Amino acid sequence: MSEKKEPGIWKKYNSPMANLTVVAGILLNYLGSKIAAASGFPIYLDNIGTIVAAALGGYLPGIITAVINNMINYALDSVSIYYASISALIAVTAAYICRGKRRVDALQAIKLIFAAAFIGGILGGIITWFLNGPSTEGVAADLLNWCRDSLGLGPFYAHELSTFLLDLVDKALTVMISLIIIRLVPEKFRSKLWMSGWRQKPLEDESVSRGVKISEIKVDSRSLNNRITLMLVFASLSMAIIVTGVSSSLFRQYSRQEHLTTASGIARLAASAVDPEMVDEYIAEGESAEGYAETEKRLTDIRDSSPDIEYVYVYRILEDGCHVVFDLDTAELEGEEPGAVIPFDESFEKYVPDLLAGKRIRPLETNDTYGWLLTAYEPVYDSSGKCVCYAAADVKFEDIQDYEKDFAIKVVLLFLGFFILILVIGLWLSRYNIILPINSMASCASDFAFSDDSADESMAEENLERIKALDIRTGDEVQNLYESFVKMTADSVDHMKNIREQNHSIMRLQNGLIMSLADMVEGRDSDTGNHVRKTAAYCRIILDGLKKKGYYSDQLTDKFMYDVERSAPLHDIGKIAVSDVILNKPGKLTDEEFEIMKTHTTAGRELIDRVIESVEGESYLHEARNLAGSHHEKWNGKGYPDGLSGEDIPLSARIMAIADVFDALTSKRVYKDPMSFEKAVSIIREDSGTHFDPKCVEAFLDSLNDVRGVLDYYNALEAGGIKVRGNEIDNPEEDHETIQAKQDTRDNQDE
């Protein structure tokens, strides 16, 4: 049986219905514009589909709809393509305000209407002003005249206000129709119409356990998303500047060459219309000369054949100036009479020698009496080959500049619409193919816990499943990175498990060594029984009580509590330096012997100091040092070895002081019965504030049920002749009947 092929990433995570938003949007725009045209009112309704596509499909479908719609309209109206940027901005606004909402409230609708009217009326009005100038007919012209005459506005501001007011009506109708269409779309289809480009499992999908949310992805000014945006904007603007500059330069060259060709052609035609044999008579007799009027009429027709030609004239060039043969009148300037002498302009003088010689000269660019002109000269030769005059045609550079400016504006406007489209497409592709996959991996990686704690290990395994659930399939280096990331994470989790198991083994070994060492030390003291275990248990009870009450919260970290409990068995490690004779003396110690006994605190501290020096980094032995050296200090400062008082005594030692004394009071000795639980508790209570830290006593007294449980457990073991050693419980072979009686609380005999 063949294996079922998994669907492609697009079909798996992206709805093909999203493409319908663009098609539907274009059709709605077309229908809206046709209805508006048929109504005869000055409205357009050509953005209905753009708003619907943006609201239902997002930024990209809205902008695609806007640009394609203007491109289609370009076939009917060549000016419409220059408004693509206006339609694109309306799409962006609609997507921002209506994003995925089935119901848009009144305030949002009003915002959309005024925003769209501002874009279409004010910004679009500026485009209209530069392309076509102010309206000259219809309702738009009447409204413009009213704004100018009644409100006293200048032409431009009157134009802007009138276009805004007209567009406000258009956009109000457009938005209302759009919102009605949006509400009619069934809810079950709305999510399918949104255009996304997931190359991984969608982050909003609830099936992703503890999935990454887009809102949780951190973005700052240095983010890849911002850098890609800046790069696209910079690249697009740079390309726009280059293309606009190059296009304008080429257009300028083409325009000048075209005007030059036109001027040269007109000059040749003018030269061919003049009878060279009659030039002398034309200058002498003027309009009364035979054929003058007919020639002037032909020259006028030649000039009027091209809208680019400003002046046409025929001059004879002599040393004293330009002698007029023909000088046609224009609307702005009356021509000179035949025979009149016009002095040479300063910029013209360098060409006079060639003109006097009857040579052909290249077209001239002058900026003198008659303005900034491009002039083409054509010599008129008589039958003997002598140049009798020059026919000239002028083109105004102001006209050429107007063409160039108009061209540059159109290039910029054409670019803006496609710039917005290209920018959004680039950001859309980078979002789904780069930004979201990388940030999803980063978000999962930031939660990845590498610790020997079982909870952290469990969280690491959950994070590994979250990473696998991303299912990134970009088909490029990002996917390669993701697959390597998954493998690395899986290897790290396995490595973490191994380390945790090894750490636990090492911890068990360390604890066993600690307890064995403590047993070895305590074994020299024949009466201590399970002292090290009971005191460690009492310490943990006091620690938990302090934490529950919120006391010493800055110190009672999990690590501190763990270190204290773990190092508690080493509190009497210094007894290894005390002689067996003193340690096991059955009677009361002398003052000298007691002083030696007290040295077990400093000896223990020095011993642990030497161990700490050989261990790098933090270690629980720092608390073992505090316990060994200070567990006989008293709250009132009358303890030993340093006479510390109050909170100058390490917290761990203050806790051990209670545990140590309570165990000494309640433990059975061969020469005495243990003190009752109640009596021992009363002694601890009475010594609160003198021997013991009051807060530690309070925590101890609030946990007496737990304390009694520990005491009863070990009493039961000792009643059966069982003593716990290392990590095991065994039956000691020694005869307890022969254990020598010794002082009740040897270490605390000063009480």
In order, the DSSP letters of 441-464 are HHHHHHT---SS-HHHHHHHHHHH
| Band of residue 50 on the pLDDT scale cut at 50, 70, 90 | very high
CA torsion angle 410 411 412 417 (round to 10): 90
Record the pTM: 0.59
Residue with the two structure tokens 């004010």: 122
CA-to-CA dists, residue 366 to 346, 383, 393, 591, angstroms: 9, 32, 13, 124
Residue 365 has pLDDT above 50, yes or no: yes
Residue 464 has pLDDT above 90, yes or no: no
Residue 369 has pLDDT above 80, yes or no: no
Residue 541 has pLDDT above 60, yes or no: yes
**What is the arithmetic mean of pLDDT over 112-139?**
86
**What is the arithmetic mean of pLDDT over 255-262?**
83
| Band of residue 370 on the pLDDT scale cut at 50, 70, 90 | low
Q: Identify the pLDDT of residue 211.
A: 45
- Nearest CA to 527 out of 261, 252, 734 is that of 734
| Band of residue 743 on the pLDDT scale cut at 50, 70, 90 | very low
Q: What is the pLDDT of residues 275-300, one digit of tens each?
A: 999 999 999 998 899 999 999 999 99
Least confident of 214-228, 230-244, 681-695: 214-228
How far is Cα 571 from Cα 410, in angstroms, rounded to an integer?
Answer: 89
Q: Identify the pLDDT of residue 512.
A: 53
Long-range contacts of 400-403 (CB under 8 A, 24+ apart): 400/252, 400/255, 400/256, 400/259, 400/374, 403/251, 403/255
- Nearest CA to 497 out of 549, 447, 451 is that of 451
**What is the arithmetic mean of pLDDT over 23-49?**
87
How far is Cα 140 from Cα 147, in angstroms, rounded to an integer?
Answer: 11
**What is the arithmetic mean of pLDDT over 472-492?**
86
What one-letter code names the amino acid at 82?
Y
**What is the arithmetic mean of pLDDT over 148-160?**
88
Residue 524 has pLDDT above 70, yes or no: no
What one-letter code names the amino acid at 214?
I
| Band of residue 208 on the pLDDT scale cut at 50, 70, 90 | very low
Q: Are 88 and 168 in contact (CB under 8 A)?
A: no
- Domains defined along the chain, listed by start: 9-202 (1.10.1760), 256-404 (3.30.450.20), 524-748 (1.10.3210.10)
Q: What is the mean pLDDT of the chain?
A: 80
Q: Identify the pLDDT of residue 251.
A: 76
Least confident of 195-199, 215-219, 400-404, 671-675: 215-219
Q: Are 447 and 459 in contact (CB under 8 A)?
A: yes
| Structure token pair of residue 264 | 């040269």
> What does the DSSP assignment read for 132-179?
T-S--SHHHHHHHHHHHHHS---HHHHHHHHHHHHHHHHHHHHHHHHH
How far is Cα 706 from Cα 478, in angstroms, rounded to an integer?
Answer: 57
How far is Cα 532 from Cα 660, in angstroms, rounded to an integer?
Answer: 9
Residue 453 has pLDDT above 80, yes or no: no
Residue 390 has pLDDT above 70, yes or no: yes
| Band of residue 749 on the pLDDT scale cut at 50, 70, 90 | very low
> Residues 583, 587, 593, 595: is their CA dihedral positive or negative?
positive
Residue 384 φ then ψ, to 5°: -90, 0
Most confident of the following: 212-226, 590-604, 623-637: 623-637
Q: What is the pLDDT of residues 674-691, one digit of tens each?
A: 888 999 999 999 999 999
**What is the arithmetic mean of pLDDT over 451-464?**
65
Most confident of the following: 13-17, 471-475, 559-563, 683-687: 683-687
| Band of residue 503 on the pLDDT scale cut at 50, 70, 90 | low
